[in-house]
Homo-oligomer: A and B are copies of this chain.
């Protein structure tokens, strides 16, 4: 850390801060500039000391030098993580395609969607049984009945199931049925929930909160990794900005940015990221070109009858067309959508130093 003193900082204030730095177990190193003094604080401690030093007398700011996350960091593990479950492979050269309805509404709706997305090339089925809804008066999901319908769809199609869990108390139940536990954007910093999925032996898909920084996303993943579960996929699903023509703003540069910093695979959600089905295919293609390791897409047999998110759901036909575009772009950038598990690809690790 670099402790930047204010221009008028007194000798006493500087001495005081040197002492503070050393009390924290860090080595201090003072540099007297032409207008300001800065104190370098050397050691392996991270974020926690920053706040403490920032409130010292005469301190203008404290500039962190080390990233606050550890286990998620490409500095710690140089090989890219590939998350696999059944036909779903996500990471490195594998492009996972997770598709299905926003909410599980009925067996008929879920099974017909599962068949359609499988036929078009999806490698996993998504569907919400527990729905976090902005309004208490909106449809909240079929809960366990929904999970059973998802399990039936898996039994028929072989697609692994990706479904959301919204509270720590529901984790055992959801984990009984699901192949991948999804943590929604609203819950990215729901720490008891992160800890609960961290002790489960199933992959986790962690969505970025609508106003979370990428550092905060990586730190949220550390809660899960730190609890013991190493199979974490990060999901960029759009951030909240002044733009209102799309539901959220989807920053595709997050994909190469995260790939420079973490070994965890990155999924993109163009359905929530744009909020309009007409924008989804092109945005999905863009995510793949940016290097995404997976896509999660909303598909519904009849979007205008959907109980949630109809405006951003693709019809079966639109999903098929989107998959054609996605497949062409995936091939152009060296990614494979692989329905068969176990296949391997050449490991390409870009060196962080080379970037």
Taking Cβ atoms with an 8 Å cutoff, the residues of A that contact B are 2, 4, 6-10, 20, 29, 31-36, 38, 40, 42-44, 46-48, 51-58, 63, 65-66, 68-70, 75, 132-139, 166-170, 186-187, 189-193, 209-211, 213-216, 219-220, 222-223, 226, 239-246, 249-253, 255-257, 260, 270, 273-274, 276-279, 282-283, 285-291, 303-311, 313, 325, 328-329, 331-333, 351-353, 355
Contacts and interface: CB of A to CB of B under 8 A. Distances in A.
Given A211-B239, A213-B244, 11 more contacts: A2-B38, A29-B31, A48-B139, A68-B135, A132-B191, A136-B219, A249-B253, A250-B252, A252-B252, A253-B270, A286-B287
A169 B169 contact: yes
Nearest to A139: B48
Q: Which 10 A-B pairs have the closest CB atoms?
A: A211-B211, A167-B192, A55-B310, A289-B289, A54-B311, A278-B355, A8-B353, A186-B189, A286-B286, A285-B289
Contacts of A241: 239, 241-242, 249, 251
Contact of A256 (B219, B244, B283): B283
A169 B192 contact: yes
27 contacts: A4-B65, A9-B353, A35-B66, A36-B65, A46-B135, A47-B137, A48-B137, A52-B306, A55-B304, A68-B135, A70-B137, A167-B193, A169-B169, A190-B190, A209-B211, A211-B240, A213-B244, A241-B251, A249-B251, A249-B253, A253-B270, A253-B274, A253-B279, A285-B290, A285-B333, A328-B333, A329-B332
Contact of A283 (B68, B70, B253, B352): B253
Determine which residue in A43, A136, A355 has the highest number of CB atoms from chain B within 10 A of its CB, and name it.
A136
B213 A310 contact: no
